[in-house]
Structure 1
Amino acid sequence: MKPYFETKLGQLFHADCADVLRDMEDKFVDLVLTDPPYGIGGKWVGGSGQKSGWSKTHAEKEVRNDWDAAAPRQEVFEDIQRVSKGQIIWGGNYFALPASRCWLIWNKPERGFTLAEAELAWTSADNIVRVFDHNRHVPGREHPTQKPLELFAWCLGLSWAEKLPVVLDPFMGSGTTAVACEQLGRKWIGIERNEQYCELAAKRLSRPMQKSLFSAA
Structure 2
Amino acid sequence: MTLYYEDEYVRLYHGDCFEQVAWLDAEVLLTDPPYGVDYNSGSRRADLAASILNDKDTSVRDGILHLWGDRPALVFGSWKIPRPEKTHTRLIWDTKGALGMGNLQIPWKPSDQEIYVLGGGFTGPRTTNVLSYAPIQATAKNGRVHPHQKPVPLLLDLIGKTTGVIADPCAGSGSTLVAAAESGRKAIGVELDERYCEIAAKRLANQPVVRFA
Which one-letter code corresponds to 1:33 in the other structure? L
Post-superposition Cα deviations, 1:159-195, rounded to whole Å, max 9, x if no partner, equal: xx1xx21000000000001100111000100000100
Which one-letter code corresponds to 2:169 in the other structure? P
Which one-letter code corresponds to 1:174 in the other structure? S
Report whether the alignment pairs 1:152 with 2:155.
Answer: yes
Report whether the alignment pairs 1:79 with 2:73.
Answer: no
User: Partner of 1:171: helix, strand, or coil?
Assistant: coil
User: Partner of 1:20: helix, strand, or coil?
Assistant: coil
Partners in 2 of 1:29 and 1:112 — Cα distance?
32
Report whether the alignment pairs 1:70 with 2:56.
Answer: yes
> Paired residues, what number?
188
**1:118 aligned partner:** 112
**1:35 aligned partner:** 32
In the TM superposition, residue 135 of structure 1 has moved relative to its aligned partner by 2.0
For residue 91 of structure 2, the aligned residue among 104, 118, 123 is 104
Gapped runs of 5+ residues in structure 2? 103-109, 208-213
Gapped runs of 5+ residues in structure 1? 47-56, 209-217
Residues 64 and 145 in structure 1, CA contact (< 8 A), matched pair in contact too = no
Residues 36 and 71 in structure 1, CA contact (< 8 A), matched pair in contact too = no
Which one-letter code corresponds to 1:12 in the other structure? L
1 or 2, which has the higher helix percentage? 1
More moved, 189-198 vs 71-80: 71-80
Residues 152 and 177 in structure 1, CA contact (< 8 A), matched pair in contact too = yes
Partners in 1 of 2:38 and 2:145 — Cα distance?
18
**2:7 aligned partner:** 7
Residues 31 and 170 in structure 2, CA contact (< 8 A), matched pair in contact too = yes
More moved, 195-204 vs 92-101: 92-101
**1:200 aligned partner:** 199
In the TM superposition, residue 117 of structure 1 has moved relative to its aligned partner by 1.4
Post-superposition Cα deviations, 1:62-111, rounded to whole Å, max 9, x if no partner, equal: 933354642341333211336xx210000164355224332221012217
Residues 34 and 90 in structure 1, CA contact (< 8 A), matched pair in contact too = yes
Q: 1:66 to 1:13 in 2, by over 3 A?
A: closer
Partners in 2 of 1:17 and 1:58 — Cα distance?
31
Partners in 1 of 2:170 and 2:132 — Cα distance?
23
Residues 41 and 67 in structure 1, CA contact (< 8 A), matched pair in contact too = no
In the TM superposition, residue 31 of structure 1 has moved relative to its aligned partner by 0.3
Partners in 1 of 2:193 and 2:41 — Cα distance?
23
**TM-score, normalising length from structure 2?**
0.75
Residues 41 and 50 in structure 2, CA contact (< 8 A), matched pair in contact too = no
User: Partner of 1:17: helix, strand, or coil?
Assistant: coil
Partners in 2 of 1:5 and 1:111 — Cα distance?
33
Report whether the alignment pairs 1:182 with 2:181.
Answer: yes
User: Partner of 2:12: helix, strand, or coil?
Assistant: strand
In the TM superposition, residue 198 of structure 1 has moved relative to its aligned partner by 0.2
More moved, 188-197 vs 64-73: 64-73
**TM-score, normalising length from structure 1?**
0.74
